[in-house]
């Protein structure tokens, strides 16, 4: 990968990847380390595809695997981020409700939701990132949405 090309790729993807890792509960003390490790591994073994979305999907796959490995090896603490402010009590309640809903889901389910709706990856890209069959992604997303709907009723 050319240096200028990587700079552009990094600028286009770092905030999304950081948000993804943060949403997964990565402790703030480890967030930047995990983010940079993902890019280092990305550079060490570049993806085969040349399309931007293929590179992005590969980067997310690396980050997920690093997070899982680190959590297993070092038992990284997970945090729920919520800042309290009296003026924003309504927003705080909404965050708490959302946190409650996300706690009802497995890590795999949270990852699927984030990749599909926050990052807007296609089902094929999600299947490569998560190591699942493409045909099961639509079914899994439907089940997750049904599960969330059940909790909201």
> Rounded mean pLDDT of the chain?
80
Same domain, yes or no, for 26 and 68?
Answer: yes
68-82: per-residue pLDDT in tens? Answer: 787 777 664 554 544
pLDDT at position 37 is 92
pLDDT at position 107 is 84
Residue that terminates a domain, selected from 33, 60, 79: 79
pLDDT at position 84 is 47
Q: Give the count of domains, the chain.
A: 2
pLDDT at position 65 is 87
Residue that terminates a domain, selected from 22, 52, 79: 79
Higher pLDDT, 124 or 118: 124
- Among 99, 23, 30, CA closest to 60: 23
Q: What is the CATH number of the domain that holds 147?
A: 1.10.10.10
Above pLDDT 70, what percent of the chain? 79
DSSP H or E run through 151: helix 134-152
pLDDT at position 139 is 94
The one-character DSSP state at 121 is -
pLDDT at position 103 is 75
> What is the domain extent for residue 29?
1-79
pLDDT at position 138 is 93
pLDDT at position 57 is 87
48-52, 73-77, 125-129, 130-134: least confident range: 73-77
Same domain, yes or no, for 2 and 74?
Answer: yes
Chain center to CA of 93: 23
82-122: per-residue pLDDT in tens? Answer: 454 555 555 545 545 666 777 778 888 888 988 898 888 89
Cα–Cα distance measured from residue 58 to residue 64, given in angstroms and rounded to the nearest whole number:
10
Residue that terminates a domain, selected from 31, 60, 79: 79
Same domain, yes or no, for 74 and 95?
Answer: no
Same domain, yes or no, for 141 and 100?
Answer: yes
Same domain, yes or no, for 13 and 58?
Answer: yes
Residue 110: both structure tokens together = 């949270």
Same domain, yes or no, for 73 and 1?
Answer: yes
Same domain, yes or no, for 58 and 97?
Answer: no
The b-or-e profile of 7-29 (16+ CB within 10 A means b, else e) is eebeeebeeebbebbeebbbeee
């Amino acid at each position: 990968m050319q240096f200028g090309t990587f700079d552009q790729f990094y600028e286009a993807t770092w905030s999304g990847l950081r948000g993804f890792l943060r949403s997964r509960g990565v402790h703030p003390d480890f967030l930047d380390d995990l983010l940079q490790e993902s890019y280092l591994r990305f550079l060490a073994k570049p993806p085969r595809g040349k399309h931007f979305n293929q590179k992005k999907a590969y980067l997310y796959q690396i980050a997920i695997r690093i997070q899982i490995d680190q959590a297993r090896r070092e038992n990284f603490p997970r945090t729920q981020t919520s800042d309290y402010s009296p003026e924003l009590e309504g927003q705080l309640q909404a965050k708490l409700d959302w946190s409650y809903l996300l706690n009802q889901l497995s890590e795999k389910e949270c990852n699927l939701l984030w990749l599909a709706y926050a990052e807007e990856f296609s089902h094929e890209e999600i299947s490569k990132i998560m190591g699942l069959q493409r045909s099961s992604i639509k079914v899994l997303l439907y089940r997750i949405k049904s599960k969330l709907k059940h909790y909201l009723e």
